[in-house]
Copies of this chain bind each other. A is one copy, B any other.
Amino acid sequence: MSDSFVLKGTVCYSRSFTEIAVHPAAYVVCEEGVCRGVFDALPAVYEALSLTDFGERFILPGLVDLHIHAPQYPFRGTGMDLELIDWLETRAFPEEAKYSDPDYAETAYRQFVDHLTRSATTRACIFATRHRESTELLMDLLEESGLVTCVGKVNMDRNAPEPLREASAALSARETRLWLEETAGRYQRTKPILTPRFIPSCTDALLEELQTIRQDWNLPVQSHLSENPGEIRWVQDLCPEADFYGDAYDRRGLFGRDRRGQSFPTVMAHCVWSPPEEVARMKENGVFVAHCPASNTNLASGIAPVRRYLEAGLKVGLGSDVAGGHTESLFRAMTDAVQVSKLYWRLVDPEAKPITFPEAFYLATRGGGAFFGNVGSFEPGYEFDAIVLDDSLLPHPQPMTALQRLERAAYLSLDLLGLHAKYAAGRRIF
């Protein structure tokens, strides 16, 4: 398949943080996997490229999921009457333990990858489990799917039930190095990401090991941060020397900047209760926030003050956080982000203006896309990710603008009803 082509349709993308550009019957050009821009009339220089005309259907940048747990997909939307730590112990950990069995992992991960492939997501940061073998299987399946992902074998050597806890820091490190060696050079679209589960799951010795591995392999990092008040108190008890939760990562060179002062991409999920010093450190270190509104609601964690983080200059994207979140739909995550920001404004902080729909759209595209480089836009030079959405199954008696149709499609999670086509990094996925 060629990665140079032209698509025609109702093209929308974020012109700025607050504005969605709408180009009806426009052309968007992909040349060797890179977007050349959006044109109301096709420039002559691109006329030789193959053209697919999607009519009035939407052509949108692919959406970016900065936080999702692949092994939790099987139980999404169940056991939702629990809070974080109880939920981990009764739902997440027992399910994740099953991934020591490669057969189970294959069945479960195939279902996950199949659904993610059909979703609006083109890029994702994905947690696997602590198991090397099944993590590699997941990476194989993702590579085959055409999606572009960062996948992490999870590290956890304390505070987890026996079958899921790694026996020692040294063993966890050894397995991690083996995983990196076995997958090195194996994939085009699937990259490893260092994944200490969260501070309560990782001894100091393990974090120290991971720091060395991170430097040796120049890896990005993903983890959890300041999700739940009980969890935060726990981290304070476990790491009395840390100034705040994020500092416990930063002291180990796992928070966007290593001990040599070198930067690396880091994404922290949740940040519901980050104190000002933590926000300042994230800004300083360039750490991304994966805002996961559904999960923060389902686990009764609270509402992340995203407006405040944006005002502070933090980089923010959206995460579905399956299975704290109950769906992989990033259309749902967008509208959840708008919704919880309204409740935050009404109930917590009348100075924190609600997130608008165009802003949420930005977060789901360019906001999270920045973690992957030039991703999440149709501006020239961006990697070409696109989804094609057909909303014609929703009749309406009155005229509607494209922007109204798009907002409605998002509120109704139309991505779950099936997309018409999808492209990631210049390749058509279906």
Contact = CB atoms under 8 A, between A and B. Distances in A.
Interface of A: 74-81, 95, 98, 104, 107-108, 111, 297-303, 326-327, 335, 338-340, 342-343, 345-348, 354, 356-357, 395-398, 400, 404, 407-413, 416-417
Pairs A-B, 4 closest by C-beta atoms: A77-B411, A77-B408, A300-B342, A108-B397
A391 B298 CA distance: 22
21 contacts: A76-B411, A77-B407, A77-B411, A78-B404, A78-B407, A81-B338, A81-B354, A98-B398, A111-B395, A111-B396, A297-B339, A300-B345, A300-B354, A301-B346, A302-B346, A303-B347, A326-B412, A327-B411, A327-B412, A343-B347, A417-B417
B74 A411 contact: no
B343 A74 contact: no
Contact of A397 (B74, B338, B413): B74
Number of copies: 2
Contacts of A356: 81
A397 B111 CA distance: 8
A76 B107 CA distance: 38
B340 A343 contact: yes
Contacts of A77: 407-412
B407 A80 contact: yes
A299 B339 CA distance: 9
Given A76-B411, A78-B411, A412-B416, 14 more contacts: A78-B408, A79-B407, A80-B338, A81-B354, A111-B397, A297-B340, A298-B342, A300-B345, A300-B346, A300-B354, A326-B335, A327-B411, A343-B347, A347-B347
A425 B200 CA distance: 54
A301 B346 CA distance: 7
A313 to B, nearest CB: 23
Contact of A80 (B345, B346, B357, B398): B357
Nearest to A355: B81
A273 to B, nearest CB: 10
B300 A74 contact: no
A408 B356 CA distance: 29
Contacts of A338: 80-81
Contacts of A409: 77
A326 B411 contact: yes
